[in-house]
Amino acid sequence: MNAPLSSLRRPLPDGFLAALQTRCGAAVTTTQATLDHHGKDESWHGTAAPDVVVYPQSTQDVSDIVRLCASHCVPVIAFGAGTSLEGHVLAIQGGVCMDMTRMNRVCAIHVEDLDVTVEAGVTRKQLNRELHTSGLFFPIDPGADATLAGMAATRASGTNAVRYGTMRENVLGLTAVLADASIVTTGGRARKSSAGYDLTRLLVGSEGTLGIITELTVKLYPQPEAIAAAVCAFPSVDAAVRTVIQTIQIGVPIARCELLDALTIAAVNRHSKLSLREAPMLFCEFHGTKAGVAEQSKMVQDIAREHGGMDFEWATLQEERSRLWQARHDAYPACLQLRPGSRAVATDVCVPISRLAECIAATNEDIARASMPIALFGHVGDGNFHLVILVDPENSADLEEGQAVNTRVVMRALEMNGTCTGEHGIGFGKMDFLEMELGSALPAMRAIKRALDPQNILNPGKVVLPDEPCRMA
* Interface with a second copy, residue 275, by CB under 8 A: no
DSSP SS3 for 403: helix
* Interface with a second copy, residue 213, by CB under 8 A: no
Distance in angstroms (rounded) separating the CA atoms of residues 38 and 290: 46
Q: Which is nearer to a second copy, 184 or 397 (CB)?
A: 184
Site for a second copy in 214-233 (CB under 8 A): 221-222, 224
- Choices 7-15, 263-271, 283-291, 339-347 (CB under 8 A): range interacting with a second copy: 283-291
Q: Which is nearer to a second copy, 272 or 296 (CB)?
A: 296
Distance in angstroms (rounded) separating the CA atoms of residues 97 and 74: 11
- Choices 56-64, 266-274, 307-315, 378-386 (CB under 8 A): range interacting with a second copy: 378-386
Q: Which is nearer to a second copy, 270 or 471 (CB)?
A: 471
Distance in angstroms (rounded) separating the CA atoms of residues 274 and 265: 9
* Interface with a second copy, residue 154, by CB under 8 A: yes
**352 touches 383 (CB < 8 A):** yes
**366 touches 408 (CB < 8 A):** yes
**70 touches 19 (CB < 8 A):** no
**146 touches 157 (CB < 8 A):** no
DSSP SS3 for 445: helix
Q: Which is nearer to a second copy, 328 or 430 (CB)?
A: 430
Helix, strand, coil shares of the chain as percentages rounded to 5? 40, 20, 40
Q: What's phi and psi for 109, nearest 5 deg?
A: -95, 120
The beta-strand segments (E) located in 311-449 are: 313-315, 343-346, 374-378, 386-391
* Interface with a second copy, residue 194, by CB under 8 A: yes
* Interface with a second copy, residue 155, by CB under 8 A: yes
Least Å distance, CB 78 to a second copy, is 16
DSSP SS3 for 283: strand
Query: Would you say how long the chain is, in residues?
Result: 473
Distance in angstroms (rounded) separating the CA atoms of residues 110 and 92: 40
Least Å distance, CB 429 to a second copy, is 12
* Interface with a second copy, residue 354, by CB under 8 A: yes
Which residues does 76 contact at the CB level (< 8 Å), separation at least 6? Answer: 65, 66, 69, 95, 96, 97, 98, 212, 457, 458, 459
Q: Which of 190, 274, 361, 397 binds a second copy (CB under 8 A)?
A: 190
Quick note: the x/- pattern for a second copy over 110-139, rule CB under 8 A, is x-xxxx------------------------
Least Å distance, CB 211 to a second copy, is 8
Least Å distance, CB 183 to a second copy, is 6
* Interface with a second copy, residue 204, by CB under 8 A: yes
Q: Which of 18, 197, 319, 371 binds a second copy (CB under 8 A)?
A: 197
Quick note: the x/- pattern for a second copy over 415-454, rule CB under 8 A, is --xxxxxxxxxx---x--xx--xx-xxxxxx-xxxxxx--
Q: Which is nearer to a second copy, 156 or 230 (CB)?
A: 156
29's enclosing H/E stretch is strand 28-29
* Interface with a second copy, residue 59, by CB under 8 A: no
* Interface with a second copy, residue 295, by CB under 8 A: yes
- Choices 9-17, 163-171, 366-374, 385-393 (CB under 8 A): range interacting with a second copy: 163-171
Least Å distance, CB 26 to a second copy, is 30
359's enclosing H/E stretch is helix 356-369
The beta-strand segments (E) located in 246-365 are: 256-260, 281-288, 313-315, 343-346
- Choices 19-27, 69-77, 205-213, 227-235 (CB under 8 A): range interacting with a second copy: 205-213
